[in-house]
Structure 1
């Protein structure tokens, strides 16, 4: 088995585990928010969301982009200079701890000013409480990023995806049952972060993932910060792209339009779920290949992984694109179906983001963090300019076009620079064929102008589409040897004999 196949199988296993953890986290997070929304007023629920948004921005600054840089840096140093890994980890933890404490103080002192910006007096007290969660949250994220550098997923899944959301849910449910005041929600948030950090720290110490030490290597620290700062700025620009459409819809239109749009937006943002899950182990494994100067293997991993992510995402995209009314109605009810055109536009943008693969992470792996920053800067500018031009004329659809265009610009820029620097691109012939087939079949179904208002009526159409699509992919011989090797590995791991499917795959490979 080739080194690329081995890397792909490790990434595939990690992707499945991270995907399951993400679904669990989303489920418990939804329950927590549902309880808060149910037992407190809409205004208080709004304050809660504003406080977490401000805290999220502070978290990006407090961690200095380390959450994205450490998986690459640790994997890289493990391959090139393993003697420096301990000092790198210790230096990163000390820098994050000190910086997060500084930003906690800044957030507490500036809470009143932030509340004035949003014209919401209750936000000041909320920020003064929730700010104490910042150091704990920053250290949790840093420890998880360190574990990623060692090619591990359990710290992310067990603690960020399971321990934290369950702890917060239990504390929120207890507060609702005992009829505690609204401020309790923020104390519960801080306590859940404390519990998670303590549990994670104990587990890291128990499994001896690395040795805790208090050494600060200033040279390593400067190199890490220099490498990470563009990633921190990229994270801030990502917030701009995430929230610009909502804020500008509120400015130009009404809260009702904002509410309708925010039924479509979170659904469309589900599309990169497999891409993000695959990124978790792609970063350290691809970094090791790059450190070994195995660009051929890295290119093969990139191409096959991109094809897998596209094939997994296609069914979700098909439902959103072909039946946007039924999709929104299923999640939010019939009164939100007027946002269906916006969902279709957003789905196109996020699918474009998905089908080009992990170009952003690949730029991080080869050390081109500034290229990511420039690409996101152009994307954010595109987003804001198009929002200003289109929202007054087209409302939700204009905001959706602006967001989709921003993601398209960012991904074209990243893919261009990745190809220019490494000649890596996602378009193997066995990936291009499924792309063409999907475009043709989706276009034919769309031309029928099917009007489906119930998601259950859409399922037979979707199953027919996937059946035809799968048949055409097989007939076009778009199956790679890595696909068969992964299938055989899964068969062996599950302990079952899938002889008929194996014969079909071998016939069309």
Structure 2
């Protein structure tokens, strides 16, 4: 088995685990928010969301981009200079610990000013409690990023995706049942992150992940900060891209339109779930190939993985794009159906983000953190300009176009830079064929202007559509040997004989 196939199988296995953890995390997070929204007033729920938004911004700054840089840096030093790995980990922990404590103090002192900025005095008290979660959250993120550098996803899934959201949900539910005051929600948030951090430290120590002497290497620290700060600025620019449409809709058209738009946006943002899951395990495994100078193998991993991500995402995209009204109605109710055109536009933008693959993570692997910062900043500026130009005339559709366009720009720029530096691109012949088939089929179905009254009528149509699609993909012989190797590895791991499927595959490979 080739090195590319081995890397692909490890990425596929890790992606599956991370995807499961992400779904569990989303479930617990939804339950927690549902309890808060149900047992407290809408104003208090708004304060909760504002406090977490401020805390998320502080987290981006406190971590200095280490959460994205460390998986690559740890894998890089493990391959090139193993003796420096422990010093690198210690240095990262010390820097983030100090920085997060500083920002905790800054936010605590500035809570009153921040609350006046948002016009809600309740936010000051909330921030003065919840801010103490920042060091625990930041250090947890560092340890998880280090574990990813060792090719591990256990810490990510167990602690960040399961233990923390489960603890918070339980604390919130108990507090609501016992009728504790609203401030208890923020205390529960701090306690949940504190307990998660302690459990993670204990677990990591047992598996030798954190067994080192506390030290601060100025040389390693400078190199790490130099590489990661552009990623921090990228995160801030990405935050702008995420929230600009909502904020500017509120400025131009009011909160009712914001609510309508946010019936479409969260659904469209589900589309990159497989891409993001793969992105957590991709950098450290591919960094090894890059350090060894095996760009051909790295490119092969990129192409096959991109095809897998597209095929996994396509069913959800088809449902959203072909039947936007029933999809919105299912999640948010009939009163949000008028946001269907915006949902289709957003779905196209996020699907474009998906079908070009892990271009951003690949640029991180080859050390192009500065370029990622520039491309994201350019896209964020385009997002703001287009929102200002389009929202007054086209309402939520204008906001959706601005968001889709910004994702288009950043992905094209990143893909062009990746090709310029490495000649890596996603378009193998066996990927282009499924793309053409999908575009043609989607166009044909869309031209029929099918109107279905509910999601339960849409699903049978979608099943037939996807069955035809998969048959045409097989008929076009778009199966690669890596696809077959992955299938055989899954069969072996499950301990079952999938003979019928193997017979079918042999006819089309």
TM range (shorter): over 0.9
Per-residue CA distance 1:267-303 (angstroms, 9 max, x = gap): 1000000001111111100111101111000000000
Partner of 1:217: 217
Secondary structure at 2:212's aligned position in 1? Answer: coil
Task: State how far apart, in whole Å, the 2-side matches of 1:31 and 1:210 are.
Answer: 33
Q: How does 1:310-349 map to 2 (within 5 A)?
A: 310-349=310-349
1:438-457 deviations in Å (ceiling 9; x for gaps):
00001000000011231111
Q: What residue in structure 2 maps to residue 90 of structure 1? A: 90
The equivalent of 1:459 in structure 2 is 459
Aligned to 2:239: 239
State whether structure 2 residue 409 is matched by structure 1 residue 409. Answer: yes
In the TM superposition, residue 210 of structure 1 has moved relative to its aligned partner by 3.5
Q: Secondary structure at 1:110's aligned position in 2? A: helix
How many Å separate the matches in 2 of 1:121 and 1:409?
Answer: 40
Q: Displacement of 1:207 after TM fit?
A: 1.5
Deviation at 1:489, TM superposition (A): 0.4
- Correspondence 1:35-50 to 2 at 5 A: 35-50=35-50
Shift of the alpha carbon at 1:241? 0.4
Look up the SS of the partner of 2:263 in the other structure. helix
**1:212 to partner: Cα distance:** 3.4
**Do structure 1's residue 356 and structure 2's residue 336 form an aligned pair?**
no
Q: Give the match for residue 74 of structure 1.
A: 74
Separation (CA, whole Å) in 2 of partners of 1:307 and 1:270: 18
Matched with 2:179 is 179
Aligned residue in 1 for 2:482: 482
**Aligned equivalents of 1:462, 1:276: Cα separation in 2:** 25
Residue of structure 2 equivalent to 1:51: 51
CA RMSD between the two structures: 0.6
Kept in 2: contact 1:349–1:403 (CA 8 A): yes
In the alignment, is the contact (CA less than 8 A) between 1:75 and 1:285 conserved in 2? yes
Q: Does 1:304 align with 2:287?
A: no
Distance in 1 between the 2:260 and 2:195 partners?
A: 36
Q: Distance in 2 between matches of 1:213 and 1:233?
A: 31
Query: C-alpha separation between the residues in 2 aligned to 1:440 and 1:508?
Result: 21
| Matched positions, count | 509
Per-residue CA deviation, residues 89-116 of structure 1 (Å, 9 max, x unaligned), is 0000000000000000011111111112
Deviation string, structure 1 residues 342-380 (Cα, Å, up to 9, x no partner)? 100000000000000000000000000011011101110
User: Which secondary structure state, in structure 2, belongs to the residue aligned with residue 293 of structure 1?
Assistant: coil
**1:133 matches 2:142:** no
* Separation in structure 1 between the aligned mates of residue 269 and residue 446 of structure 2, nearest angstrom: 22
Give distance in 2, aligned partners of 1:87 and 1:128.
34
In the aligned structure 2, how far is the partner of 1:18 from the partner of 1:286?
Answer: 17
The correspondence of residues 92-241 of structure 1 with structure 2, limited to 5 A, is: 92-241=92-241
Alpha-carbon displacement from aligned partner over 1:447-502 (angstroms, at most 9, x marks no partner):
00011231111111111111111111111110000000000000011111111211
Structure 1, gaps ≥5 residues long: none
Q: Distance in 2 between matches of 1:502 and 1:80?
A: 41
Gaps of 5+ in 2: none
Aligned to 2:445: 445
Contact 1:329 1:453 in 2 (8 A): no
Q: Is the 8 A contact 1:328 1:334 kept in 2?
A: yes
Q: How does 1:374-385 map to 2 (within 5 A)?
A: 374-385=374-385
CA contact (8 A) 1:437 1:469 kept: yes
**Aligned position for 2:365:** 365
Residue 213 of structure 1 and its aligned partner are, at CA, apart by 2.1
Alignment of structure 1 residues 14-53 onto 2, 5 Å: 14-53=14-53
CA distance in 1, matches of 2:21, 2:212: 27
C-alpha distance in 1 between matches for 2:218 and 2:46: 42
What do the CA deviations read for 1:59-113 (whole angstroms, capped 9, x no partner)?
0000000000000000000000000000000000000000000000011111111
Contact 1:136–1:194 (CA<8 Å) still a contact in 2? yes
Post-superposition offset of 1:307: 0.1
Cα distance in 2 for residues equivalent to 1:326 and 1:353:
24
Using the alignment, how far apart are the partners of 2:273 and 2:404 within structure 1?
17
In 1, the alpha carbon distance for the partners of 2:427 and 2:397 equals 31
